[in-house]
């Protein structure tokens, strides 16, 4: 259905896009450093799953419909900004509490909540939807048959490489954060810095257009 040359070119381009500095990378780093290894990995995996949801939107044409409607785009954009702001405010309100609990219990927190946060933060970002609508069709060849299976395969490949890159990024950031969090006062400021980053990303998303 898709030649190996196209697959390799797509993976190379996808890897470059994924490692390039952007909101997702910044969020994974900030969560990993402020909350630890499990949180960083979970958030990174959530972002990767969110990428595949955008593939489904692009394949079904839903993404194009949302981006074609100013009101729908605005609603989705504000929902994404609101969610990022919520995470940022919670990080400020509970600054240092997670690190203290981990020190008392001697283990990392559950990965599931951060996976959900990463998924939602990515899935409700219309900017990511716009990227997938523009990026995936460049590697689709209508002459090779039905288009939508090619789109799904490419989206799955993109999500797979994102799992590896974001998972590794979360692991290394969490490794650094685990050491930094041994100092309770420093852990408070790490949470506040992460919260500030999320609030800043929320404001950026809310004030940018299509």
Alpha carbons 136 and 126: distance in angstroms, whole number: 16
**Domain assignment of residue 118, yes or no:** yes
Alpha carbons 78 and 99: distance in angstroms, whole number: 31
pLDDT in tens, 113-161: 889 989 998 888 887 888 888 888 888 877 777 777 888 888 889 989 9
**Domain assignment of residue 75, yes or no:** yes
**Domain assignment of residue 13, yes or no:** no
Residue 46: pLDDT band (50, 70, 90) is: very high
**Domain assignment of residue 41, yes or no:** yes
Report the domain count for the chain: 1
Structural domain span for residue 66: 24-207
**Domain assignment of residue 9, yes or no:** no
Mean of the pLDDT values across residues 19-29? 84
141: left (phi over 0), alpha (psi -120 to 50) or beta: beta
Give the three-state DSSP class for 67: helix
**179-199 as b/e, with b when 16 or more CB fall inside 10 Å?**
eebeeeeebbebbbbbbebbb
**Domain assignment of residue 73, yes or no:** yes
Contact (CB, 8 A) for 198 and 90: no
Residue 104: pLDDT band (50, 70, 90) is: very low
pTM, to two decimals = 0.74
**Domain assignment of residue 164, yes or no:** yes
**Domain assignment of residue 65, yes or no:** yes
Q: How many percent of the chain have pLDDT more than 90? A: 9
Mean of the pLDDT values across residues 52-65? 77
Contact (CB, 8 A) for 9 and 17: no
Supply the pLDDT for residue 210: 59
Supply the pLDDT for residue 12: 92
Supply the pLDDT for residue 25: 86
Alpha carbons 13 and 129: distance in angstroms, whole number: 17
């Amino acid at each position: 259905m898709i030649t190996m040359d196209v697959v390799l070119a797509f993976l190379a381009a996808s890897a470059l896009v994924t490692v390039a500095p952007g909101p997702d990378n910044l969020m994974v780093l900030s969560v990993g450093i402020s909350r630890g290894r499990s949180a960083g990995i979970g958030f990174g995996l959530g972002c990767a799953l969110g990428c595949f949801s955008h593939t489904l939107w692009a394949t079904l044409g839903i993404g194009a419909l949302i981006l074609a409607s100013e009101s729908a785009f605005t609603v989705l954009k504000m929902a994404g900004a609101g969610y990022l702001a919520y995470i940022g405010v919670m990080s400020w309100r509970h600054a240092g509490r997670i690190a203290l609990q981990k020190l008392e219990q001697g283990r990392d927190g559950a990965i599931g909540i951060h996976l959900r946060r990463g998924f939602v933060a990515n899935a409700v970002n219309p900017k990511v939807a716009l990227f997938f609508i523009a990026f995936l069709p460049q590697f689709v060849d209508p002459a090779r048959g039905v288009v939508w299976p090619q789109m799904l395969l490419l989206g799955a490949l993109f999500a797979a490489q994102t799992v590896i890159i974001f998972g590794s990024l979360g692991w290394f950031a969490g490794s650094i954060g685990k050491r930094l969090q041994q100092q309770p006062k420093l852990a408070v400021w790490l949470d506040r810095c992460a919260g500030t980053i999320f609030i800043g990303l929320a404001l950026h998303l809310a004030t940018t257009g299509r």
